[in-house]
Amino acid sequence: MLAEERYAIILDKLKSEGIVKTNELKKLLNASSETIRKDLKYLDEVGQLDRVHGGAIPKANKESIVKQDDDNYISFDVRQCQNSEMKHSIALAAAELIKEGQSVGLDSGTTSYELAKVLKQKFNNLTIVTNSLVNAHELANKKGFTVIATGGVLTPDENSFISDLATLILDKINLDIMFLTTCGVSLDNGITDQRMAEVMVHNKMMNCAKKVVVLSDSTKFDEVSLYKVCPLDEVDCIVTDSHIEEDLVDRFRKEGHNIIVSN
Residue 222: DSSP 8-state: T
- Cα distance between residue 219 and residue 159, in whole Å: 24
Domain boundaries, the chain: 3-63, 84-261
pLDDT tens column, 76-127: 767 767 777 889 999 999 999 999 999 999 999 999 999 999 999 999 999 9
- Residue 47 has what pLDDT? 84
Residue 61 CA neighbour count, 13 Å, CB half: 13
pLDDT (average), residues 197-215:
93
Which residues neighbour 242 within 8 Å (Cβ) at sequence distance 6 or greater?
89, 261, 262, 263
Sheet holding 103-106, edge to edge: 145-149, 126-130, 103-106, 177-181, 212-215, 237-240, 259-261
**Going by CATH, does the domain composed of 3-63 fall within 1.10.10.10?**
yes
Rounded to 5 degrees, φ, ψ at 148 are -115, 110
Residue type, 232: L
Question: Beta partners for 240?
Answer: 261
- Residue 73 has what pLDDT? 62
Q: Do domains 3-63 and 84-261 have the same CATH topology?
A: no
Q: Kindly state the greatest CA–CA separation across the chain.
A: 58
Q: How confident is the model at residue 60 (pLDDT cuts 50, 70, 90)?
A: low
**Run of H or E including 40:** helix 33-45
Question: Beta partners for 175?
Answer: 209
Which residues neighbour 129 within 8 Å (Cβ) at sequence distance 6 or greater?
103, 104, 105, 106, 148, 150, 170, 173, 175, 205
> Which SS3 state, helix, strand or coil, does residue 202 take?
helix
Q: How confident is the model at residue 263 (pLDDT cuts 50, 70, 90)?
A: confident
Q: Is the model's pLDDT at 230 over the cut of 80?
A: yes
DSSP strand pairing (160-162 vs 145-149): unpaired
Q: Is the model's pLDDT at 244 over the cut of 60?
A: yes
Q: Is the model's pLDDT at 219 over the cut of 90?
A: no
- Residue 66 has what pLDDT? 39
Q: Residues 72, 194: contact at Cβ < 8 Å?
A: yes
pLDDT tens column, 167-204: 889 999 999 999 999 989 999 999 999 888 888 899 99
Q: Is the model's pLDDT at 64 over the cut of 50?
A: no
Q: Which fold has domain 84-261?
A: Rossmann fold (3.40.50)
Name the burial class of residue 218, with classes exposed (0-12), middle (13-18) and buried (19+) by CB atoms within 10 angstroms of its CB. Answer: buried
Which residues neighbour 228 within 8 Å (Cβ) at sequence distance 6 or greater?
189, 190, 191, 192, 199
